[in-house]
Structure 1
């Protein structure tokens, strides 16, 4: 999580999207099933605050093992990708 700013900036440099300020990022907090969520490294509040500071990036807490919130996260990613796809003429 501490490297998220760097990863985001580096991605935007390398990918050079046409509208970097509105690129459809999504942040996932994974493995929330581990230890009943008691072993988390980053609080939900801190993650949501970071996402809000970057233009309200969608944030999902997920568990791939339990299948919790995984589908919702991928649906959000797909919808945002389609929304930002250039229209054909």
Structure 2
């Protein structure tokens, strides 16, 4: 039903069962919500290309310290710092 109901076809190419199409549409919707959230939180001057470039630079470093796992980000520069501060992710910044 969901495959044929819309004017623009949204059928995933390899998913044929209705419950799987519904799951796919749900994930697409959640992805669009996340995208809109990011667009609203970003600084005005940052483009989508700049956002992708900043995210591509980041690397997660995982370390074990006294039986506690620590997560920190590396490869910081001005673009990535601006991005993380805008998204209020300061706790993941390296010290």
Please tell me the TM-score bracket, short chain as reference. under 0.3
Max Rg structure: 2
Report the TM-score when normalising by structure 1: 0.27
Q: Which has the higher strand share?
A: 2
Report the TM-score when normalising by structure 2: 0.25
Comparing both chains, which one has the higher relative contact order based on Cα–Cα distances under 8 Å and sequence gaps of 6 or more?
Answer: 1
